Amino acid sequence: MTKVNAWVSAFRLRTLPLALSSIIMGSFLAAYYNAFSWSILILASLTTLFLQVLSNLANDYGDTVNGADHAERKGPDRMVQTGAISLVSMRRAIILFSVFSLISGLSLIYLAFGNSSAYISLFFFLLGLAAIGAAMKYTMGSNPYGYNGLGDVFVLIFFGIVGVAGSFYLYTNFFDWKVLLPAFSVGFLSSGVLNLNNMRDEESDKMAGKNTLVVKHGIKWAKTYHFTLIIAAVVITTVFAIVNGFGLYQYTFVFSLPLFIRHLMVVNNAEDSADFDPELKKLALSTLVYVFLFGVGLVVM
């Protein structure tokens, strides 16, 4: 494997559509409130992509150092564990993408608020630092939260609430509680992707002492939890549509339901840990399709 291919693999490009889903959802909601801006969309998307790549690199590094990536692990190879990328090179890349995320985030904050709201700008700056810290601390450090079953909570917060409601605020400079409904919806679907990853890695995580929710409660519980996440996402979206008085023609997100039904059938029938791996990409793309369909229903009103 060439160095270029190794880095592309470490970036884990298949995770990027899921990262963008929250920004796209927030952007559609802003358009619904007549507050959309292409400049904010571009910078918010760029910041999110930098953060997601940072998270992927940090996971590659952290899981190798902490022993979760080893020869028995299922799923795609990790570049540090295989020796394709050295620990030193990966640390430098983590620092580099932390800087990229910070610069992009600061630019986004200035574009959204300028000099008009110092306290709000400071709040979003601290939120950005928290996002960088969360991206790194998932598997890195002496007590990574991903090893204590807290990954799902942080995914819900940053992929759902912060990603959707936060980006919505960057556009509009105001908050509407109803935005939390699609925010939680995207957060639940994103947590579903992490749950798939953890179901795939259950045995190797046990060996490494990585106590994800799947390791703590088992596959049977994890499948029930997975069904709950997907169904809750659809129900919450429906509640948003009802609260906002959607016409029947605006329920375009229902056309994504066959994707989720197929997915849940596959998960229900999965017997081997490797059966879960193909579903990660499919659920991430299904989430993106759902967001776009939901957005179409918003903007045609």
| pLDDT for 217 | 93
How much is the pTM? 0.92
Is 157 in contact with 135 (CB distance < 8 Å)? no
| pLDDT for 67 | 61
What DSSP letter does each residue of 23-36 carry, written as one string? HHHHHHHHHHTT--
CA distance 256 to 143: 39
Task: Tell me the mean pLDDT per 10 residues along the chain, length 301.
Answer: 82 88 96 94 96 90 68 62 83 93 95 86 93 87 82 93 96 94 97 94 85 93 96 96 92 96 95 88 94 92 63
CA distance 255 to 282: 16
Spatial neighbors of 78 by CB under 8 A, at least 6 apart, are 10, 60, 63, 64, 69
